[in-house]
Amino acid sequence: MELKELKIGNLTAAIPIIQGGMGIGVSLSGLAAAVANEGGIGTISGVQIGFREPDFAVNPVEANLRAIGKEIKKAREKTKGILAINIMAAISNYELYVKKAVEEKIDLIVSGAGLPLSLPKLVEGTSTKIAPIVSSAKAAGIIIRSYLKNKRLPDAVIVEGPLAGGHLGFKMNEILEEKCASLKEIVKEVKELITGIEKEHGVTIPVIAAGGIRTKEDIMGLQEAGADGFQIASLFVSTIECDAHENFKLAYVNAEKSDEMIIKSPVGMPARAIRNKFITDSVENGCVVSKCYKCMPNCNPATIPYCISSGLIDAVEGRGGLIFSGANLEVINKITTVKEVISRLIG
């Protein structure tokens, strides 16, 4: 089976690879532009993107809005390719951030961690495309029915399976007991649903598989199951172009299978991360949260075991922290380049 280009509305990526958004700060303009330059779709992570702005501690919303503009501009200077931004539906001020990215003429908004039901109205009248992330055909159905009320459909649907990095759309016990459906199974179900919608409405909606894709064989297997595109994140961390500190990249290179673990995130979802001192000290034993960035509407600093923003910022700046990752990191054993990762994947 041949790999085809990936069409999302009028956007055509020469290779069907989307680099998954990685927050906080792991995928910014550097990585996103490098992937876009190779013919894939590069994704800037929009979550707490203003963490390097001087006023972030006192005015995180302003800092984030400014940084969304800056990172999109920086990426545009480096590439003429397709750029997406990932903004998690669960974060505070979600709509403000999406609107800002749309104003900056981002090509595609990718949103998961919750149901991104307001996306159609946020992009109305613009050329920005929308791609919700789902972990089941049921969630895809709910989103599609809601979008249709706005006379709109998603431009693509990203299906994230249980081996993905960061927050996971499955129940904690299902992941720990390995009872989740596989990515292939979920892709098949979502593809069936989407094929029906495509026929009914005379449109094309690519289904993009994500989570644990490590080899060309993984890609071919998912293509057989119905995937039109492949969202990949972890493999791009250990590249020169990745925007994270070298210590973050080396944590991937040095991780062993036994270091991969599932934690309960203050977001209220399970998440996959690499076991380190932060996890044993803070996640397992709890710590006092002294600074709150108000990044999530329902987070209470008095009751959470650790602050997710501080943990992720420490990680991306190389101070240990909370290092999110996908499963099966054993294939990552050196710092490489985006070009090499992609050429290994598509052969």
Ligand X SMILES: Cc1cc2nc3c(=O)[nH]c(=O)nc-3n(C[C@H](O)[C@H](O)[C@H](O)COP(=O)(O)O)c2cc1C
Binding positions for ligand X, rule: CB under 6 A: 20-23, 26, 45, 47, 86, 88, 112-113, 133, 160, 163-166, 210-213, 231-234, 324-326
Q: How many CB atoms lie within 10 A of CB 331?
A: 11
Indicate the residue among 86 and 238 with the shorter CB distance to ligand X: 86
Indicate the residue among 151 and 236 with the shorter CB distance to ligand X: 236
Tokens of 86: 């990932």
- Is residue 102 within 8 Å of residue 124, measured between CB atoms? no
Give dist(CA 8, CA 188) in Å, integer: 19
Q: Distance from CA of residue 264 to its chain's centroid?
A: 18
The least distance separating ligand X from the CB of residue 242, rounded to whole angstroms, comes to: 10
The least distance separating ligand X from the CB of residue 312, rounded to whole angstroms, comes to: 8
Give dist(CA 320, CA 165) in Å, integer: 17
Indicate the residue among 205 and 295 with the shorter CB distance to ligand X: 295
C-beta pairs of 124-127 under 8 Å, 24+ apart in sequence: 124/150, 124/152, 126/102, 127/10
The least distance separating ligand X from the CB of residue 201, rounded to whole angstroms, comes to: 26
- Is residue 32 within 8 Å of residue 44, measured between CB atoms? yes
**For the chain, where are the E strands, in sequence order?**
6-8, 11-13, 17-19, 41-45, 82-86, 108-111, 129-134, 157-160, 166-167, 207-210, 229-232, 260-264, 270-274
The least distance separating ligand X from the CB of residue 200, rounded to whole angstroms, comes to: 28
The least distance separating ligand X from the CB of residue 193, rounded to whole angstroms, comes to: 20
Give dist(CA 37, CA 32) in Å, integer: 9
Tokens of 120: 């159609």
The least distance separating ligand X from the CB of residue 49, rounded to whole angstroms, comes to: 10
The least distance separating ligand X from the CB of residue 70, rounded to whole angstroms, comes to: 18
Indicate the residue among 148 and 344 with the shorter CB distance to ligand X: 344
Indicate the residue among 201 and 216 with the shorter CB distance to ligand X: 216
Residue number closest to ligand X, CB atom: 326
The least distance separating ligand X from the CB of residue 272, rounded to whole angstroms, comes to: 8
Indicate the residue among 203 and 254 with the shorter CB distance to ligand X: 254
Give dist(CA 272, CA 255) in Å, integer: 13
Q: What share of the chain is helix, strand, coil (3-state, %, to 5)?
A: 40, 15, 45
Indicate the residue among 21 and 42 with the shorter CB distance to ligand X: 21
Indicate the residue among 149 and 319 with the shorter CB distance to ligand X: 319
The answer, yes or no, to whether the previous bond of 24 is cis (omega within 30 of 0) is yes
